[in-house]
Structure 1
Amino acid sequence: MTKGSCLCGGVTWQTDAALRPSVACHCTQCRKTSGHYWSATQVPTEALEITGDRLRWFRSSDSARRGFCGTCGASMFWQQDGEGKTSIGSGTIDGPSGIATAKHIFCADKGDYYEIPAGVAQE
């Protein structure tokens, strides 16, 4: 069982599904919602249990929404419509994650104030 939470603990989650390796997204939306790039693992939505009454959803595009804590503002989840999977912010995992970053995506949109480390796939 893997568990996680937001900064204030008002939203918690758990899953017994295997976590996908983390994917670091450098798109403008991810940078705006997190203040940097956003790295996330992913599980089937049906295998994810979310608790707490502070979870809020923001429709960030015509085809996706982002879940965050309404109290502390922590960016926690991302869901693509019709996909049946939920991306979970890797930084929300409580304790060791057991995963590694598999790739960086939307690299052309990255901020100019940092470099993407060599040795990991870039798209």
Structure 2
Amino acid sequence: MPAPSQLAIATSALNRLVKEEASYHKELESQQARITKLEQGNDDDENAEFTLRQERKALEETKVMFPQLRQKIEDAKSKLEAQLEQDKGPGDQSSPEDITKAKEAIAAALHAIREAS
């Protein structure tokens, strides 16, 4: 099996970052739901205040990740676009399938960036 091309590697990296960002969004929603539940919950639990404080801290830590992740996605997208441009020259070693996957990854990254803004 031949080694993956630079285009395939850059595509995989961008796809991983887009999936990671989606995962953080799911985590954010989950944390917000837990906080809402704790705020509306019964006060019988003596650790409720501590748990609520911890959940809010985790929520803030998750929010901090978005700007960093967005920058990583933009950097990976730029790198992939440059690699795609470079592979258009003579001696093109990328398969049409790799090129299609790269373009799909760029579209997914643009969508993720627009949603985050």
Q: TM-score, normalised by structure 2?
A: 0.23
Say which structure is richer in strand.
1
